[in-house]
Structure 1
Amino acid sequence: MFRTKFRHIIGATMIAAMAFGSVGVAYSADKVVWNFNVWGGQRAFTKGVEIIKEKLEAVGNGSFELKINYGDALGPKKQNPENIKSGAFEAGQLCVGYYPGKYPLLSVMELPFLLPRDINARAKVEMAVLSHPDIVAELSDRWNSKFFGPAFLPAYEFMGNKRIETTDDMKGVKMRISGLNAKALQVFGAVPTMVTATEGYNALQRGTIDSFGFPYSYAFGSYKLYEVSKYVTEGLAMSGFMCLQTVNIDAWNKTPQAVRDALPAAQEAAIAGMIEAYAAADKKWRPIFRDKLEVVEVDPATRAKLAEGAGKIWAEWTKKT
């Protein structure tokens, strides 16, 4: 039965991809406050939750506040699921690859070469999957949480101090990318090594990572990885983390109805705002990268070669999950 459910999830994801290319609420007098935890500072990635904050607070008219705590101010990112579940804080940012085994169904979105390359299509696919009843149940039953904010990412490229143009160039290279995508690189001799986004600068500087996989281009600029790198790829366009924002269900249920009703429209505004922010980041960062680094244009045949084994990895996921 479970295997059938998991096959249904991956099937639904593929269809969507093709179709689209103490627990409680913090109070201040009569105001409901959600404390939201996220790593790093303001950047294109956080634009979505910043828009949702603006929209929901406007509807709340003083009865609701979404307080964004940057820089992991409320606790380490790897403890966000547990802290949201327990009500240590009401809401937070998640990226599934940081939590191996904790979101088995949702990890479908991190399968290599499953998502479309186009950012608009990626956003639509992720929203469709996040509304799937089995995904909703995984969040609520395992983690006492509910999806509230989109956090889709552009396709991944690699930046670092090893030049990567072909699959042969990956042999022995310590490459940072999440577990399921890592399997596609291991076939060609890469050595996957996972560190968090905030650890990337030091990891490249010290040589514990040779090449860092990140959403292109905003993340490389936001975390200044170009300062400690020589090369960046364009054309690999790999899948990466599946990210989302969740809220504790008890906190959600105590939130004013008008605020809850306003969430779908706020999500749509967040999606549009994130797409604009990623485009603006490309205009800013890609010329800087071309000035400071060697941009390695990856031939489509190389990407196709990497993607050849994806079906086998998908099948293994279905069998094991």
Structure 2
Amino acid sequence: MKSLIIAAVATLCIAVAPAVAADTVDGPEVNWKLSLWGKPRAFTAGIDKFSELVSERTGGRFKIEVVYGGQLASPRENLDGLQIGAFESAVLAAAFHPGKMPLSLGLDLPFLPVPDLETRQKVVEAYFAHPAMKEELKNLGVRHLYTVLAPQFEFMGGGEPPETLDDWNGKRVRALAGIGEAMAILGAVPISISPTEVYTGLERGTVDAASFPFSYAHGAYGLHEISNWYTSNLNPGVTHAQLLVSLGAYGALPEQYRKVLEEVKAEAYAFNIQAMADADAKWIPLFKEAGLKDVTYTDEERQQWIDSAAKPVWTNWLKEGADAGKPSQELLDLILTTAKQ
């Protein structure tokens, strides 16, 4: 009996072995560096998972090393670093390069009707699959790999809380792209600084408030330590961050590794979404415990703002795109129809 069991187990191992081997993609040794600012946090969870999955699927032969703290380049220099070949991949926001990535900013328009992160995943993947988006990135010498899925941004700051939307008049706010334009309509003064500069700005009083999602920034950057209020239902929009790769590095990959980059995205996105939910569950109660005032607005106030901000900001972006011969209306329609579906 014992010999029969051993034989059966051996047979099973032989039968299973080819399937296991098929899961590991063979290929040459490839080592990429990925430039990213700050420290590991919910924002970076999907990026770290992406890197981990690529290594697992290739048996460690294709490695993407995530280099934190802006050691390779600052957030605003990541595009330059990709273009000169200083590193192979990087996370960056189009809002840092508005003149170079105007179509990418379509995703950052305020008040886009994207209700949750699962929908956002479908929207960004459809958006970057559009030929015009591929062309914009190709002209910059880069390619889209993955988008960090972020919840709606909210503000946190010091000084007098903005109890009404009129109270934003004159406040200096860290707000980029479409969110900044929407806040300007309220009379706020948008300031474009990188995430790692915000704490110092709030501490010194050069910035009154900053827009980030709770789940990966306000708490992770310690802004609650020097703030006394936050908004919880402003929901002005999102400033997206993309994981991009230089065309040179991507072109040098064997075809099987390129397939791996596509195959791991779904699992990385799922990990990203869960990390954001876990971070919200952690940080929001801590903000309340710290005594920060939760500022909310009525539906009527928000709708008035949406009516006054969304249309002119969207119209301006559409006009700039049309004047440049770009299919901006087609891209906005793509966002709206994908989100609705």
TM superposition shift of 1:154? 1.0
Q: Does the aligned pair in 2 maintain the 1:172–1:189 contact within 8 Å? A: yes
Structure 2 matches for 1:20-99, cutoff 5 A? 31-99=29-97
Greater CA radius of gyration, 1 or 2?
Answer: 2
Match of 1:155 among 149, 152, 162: 152
| Distance in structure 2 (CA, Å) of the matches to 1:312 and 1:71 | 37
| Distance in structure 1 (CA, Å) of the matches to 2:230 and 2:134 | 37
Q: Deviations over 1:25-60 (max 9, x none)?
A: xxxxx5211110000010111111111111111222
The residue type equivalent to 2:213 in the other structure is P
Q: Does the aligned pair in 1 maintain the 2:155–2:212 contact within 8 Å? A: yes
CA change 1:302–1:217 in 2 (3 A) is: farther
The residue type equivalent to 1:63 in the other structure is R
**Matched residue pairs, number?**
291
Q: Deviations over 1:154-184 (max 9, x none)?
A: 1010000131232111111111111332222
Partner of 1:121: 119
Structure 1 window deviating more from structure 2 (273-282 vs 290-299): it is: 290-299
| Distance in structure 1 (CA, Å) of the matches to 2:113 and 2:40 | 26
Structure 2 matches for 1:157-236, cutoff 5 A? 157-161=154-158, 162-236=160-234
CA change 1:191–1:288 in 2 (3 A) is: same
TM superposition shift of 1:83? 1.1
| Distance in structure 2 (CA, Å) of the matches to 1:190 and 1:79 | 27
| Structure-1-length-normalised TM-score | 0.87
Gaps of 5+ in 1: 1-29
TM superposition shift of 1:115? 4.5
Gaps of 5+ in 2: 1-27, 322-341
Partner secondary structure for residue 247 of structure 1: strand
Partner of 1:257: 255
Partner of 2:294: 295
| Distance in structure 2 (CA, Å) of the matches to 1:169 and 1:275 | 33
1:314 aligns with 2:314: yes
Partner secondary structure for residue 36 of structure 1: strand
Q: Does the aligned pair in 2 maintain the 1:52–1:266 contact within 8 Å? A: yes
Q: Does the aligned pair in 1 maintain the 2:147–2:240 contact within 8 Å? A: no
Identity of aligned residues (%): 34
Partner secondary structure for residue 158 of structure 1: strand
Q: Does the aligned pair in 1 maintain the 2:110–2:182 contact within 8 Å? A: yes
Q: Deviations over 1:175-233 (max 9, x none)?
A: 11113322222222111112211011111111111111111233101101000000001
| Distance in structure 2 (CA, Å) of the matches to 1:238 and 1:187 | 12
The residue type equivalent to 2:155 in the other structure is F
Match of 1:131 among 129, 132, 136: 129
Structure 1 window deviating more from structure 2 (70-79 vs 108-117): it is: 108-117
